[in-house]
Amino acid sequence: MKSIIITGASSGIGKETAKLFALKGFKVFATARNVQAMADLKELGCILIKLDVTDDESIQKAFKQIYESTSVVDILINNAGFSQNGFLEELSRDQLLHQFEVNVFGLIRVTQQVLPQMRSSGYGLIINVGSMGGDFTTPGASAYHASKYALESFTDGLRQELKGFGIKVSLIKPGGVATNFINNAAFPLPVKGNPYGLMRENYQKMLLTVLDPSKSSFGILKPEDVALKIYKTAISKKPVTRVRIGASAKFIPFVKRLISDNTFDAMIIKQLGLNNVIKTN
């Protein structure tokens, strides 16, 4: 029975991925800060582990539990992440740091925990759940996009570093997914006289539209759709290094490569309804 660790398994993509692998006979270590939210996974045979990817002590304790239950981790799925919405001028240093602590540095810390054992075994698979947001940026979420760009580079470097040890690395890049991701997204409280008020309002409306299956132009993915792609990547003899899921994840980066930065900026600003707002603020 192969062992797999999944971070951020308390909801959305992480939970559906844990369910699928458990049903397929894997030994699943489902990890998240909120263990209670994973109670249904325990009924499927998953081993629940409390893990906060931003807390070194929590990481050490979690992996102590994991390695007491298994000597080999075959697959690591780095899924934990969140979106720090907000315009750059209104984000504090602590808010920016937290965005990278969760989406980048926490992921690196967790990955470092499995590398010695995987190298010793001579095999293993690491799947990082990124986003189409690692290909382009929108105003109102530049911190989030920056963290996903960083994840792209980190994944490329990791894949190159580990190839000689028999360890494979893949990046999953879904488009819009119907989860609580946006509802859980942090958004700084507006300050008095904030010039981004109307932009913020339009940005939030855009998010609700883009992630509404009845309104989106590209179609919205279900968490199960992404989980299935992750599973197929995991069982493949030659996992694809980048897996783009959904029309938007494929179309928008393609268009961006064909046009200038200024043209792309204008397209995004118009799409968000920010062109007139910017002129009047």
- Report, in angstroms and rounded to the nearest whole number, the Rg of the chain calculated over CA atoms: 19
167: Cα within 13 Å, side-chain hemisphere: 28
Q: Which residues pair with 127 in a beta bridge?
A: 77, 170
Residue 144 annotated in active site:
yes
Alpha helix positions (H), 31-141? 39-42, 56-69, 93-100, 106-121
Rounded to a whole number, what is the largest CA-CA distance in the chain?
A: 61
Tokens of 133: 């947001």
Active-site annotation holder among 67, 144, 149, 231:
144
**Listed residue (44, 43, 45, 50) closest to 10, CA to CA:** 50
Residues labelled as active-site residues: 144
